[in-house]
Amino acid sequence: MLFDATDLPRPPTRIAEGVVHLPAFLSPDTQADLVRQARAIARGVAGTPVAMRRPQVGQHHMKAYLMSLGWFWATNPYRLVQEVDGHAVPPVPENYQVMADAIIARAQELDAQINQMAVETALVNFYPPGAGMGEHVDAQEEADNPVVSLSIGEETTFRIEGHKVVLMSGDALVFGGPARRARHGVTPPRPGTGPEHTGLKEGRINITMRQVHPA
């Protein structure tokens, strides 16, 4: 390979209407801090009904592991709750809103259709080797405010309505406006592409932040 992909220019890009990709938005230290923070939260709820889990969808379990913050994504049927069998859902960390505000502000410079959002819930997803996410629509929230997504660890390809973008560790992605209910998904992580500074041996973490209720 003539060039390492990480050495090539990757400017902030408007991928499609309402979809903005912000490469390397998170510093290496911030990425490592977010991994440590997620692990601490996961340890705190281990063994409870709100623990990080592989949700059952229909007759099968997802390959990815999910942990809900703020609101819990219950399945069969899909619904949002803040308590499961007497166990409170962990709150959204305060630093998530700070990050979301900075990401939204930068994304708005590229697409004016992206509006503000309050982080009422977040999903911390861990994708082990071989685990992707089929195309789906984020439709559980009543609010139409944008989704803010962070990638940490190995690379993946994000697909949304016919568009594709490679997400590397530290990248942020926003989809809102006309793309808020767009079908999207990710491929399994590419082995060996994760930087050492994250503290992840393999796989990738994706943090998606969302607003649940209309303002």
Torsions phi, psi of 45, nearest 5? -115, 10
Query: 């993946």: which residue's tokens?
Result: 156
Q: In sequence order, what are the residues at sequence separation of 6 or more whose Cβ sits closer than 8 angstroms to the Cβ of residue 75? A: 55, 56, 57
Residue 184 is assigned to a ligand binding site: yes
Residue 171 is assigned to a ligand binding site: no
Mean pLDDT of 98-105: 98
Domain residue ranges in the chain: 13-210
Best CA proximity match to 124, nearest among 66, 203, 62, 167: 66
57: pLDDT confidence band, cut at 50, 70 and 90? low
> Which has more pLDDT, 7 or 9?
9
pLDDT in tens, 139-194: 677 788 999 999 999 999 999 888 999 999 999 999 988 877 778 789 999 999 99
> Among the listed ranges 46-55, 86-95, 111-120, 140-149, which one has the minimum average pLDDT value?
140-149
207: pLDDT confidence band, cut at 50, 70 and 90? very high
Q: Considering the chain, what percentage of its residues have pLDDT values greater than 90?
A: 73
Best CA proximity match to 80, nearest among 69, 72, 89: 72
Predicted confidence (pLDDT) at residue 3 exceeds the cutoff of 50? no
- Say what the pLDDT of residue 194 is: 98
Predicted confidence (pLDDT) at residue 136 exceeds the cutoff of 90? no
- Say what the pLDDT of residue 184 is: 72
Topology of domain 13-210 in CATH is Jelly Rolls (2.60.120)
Residue 101 is assigned to a ligand binding site: no
Mean pLDDT of 196-202: 97
Predicted confidence (pLDDT) at residue 45 exceeds the cutoff of 90? yes
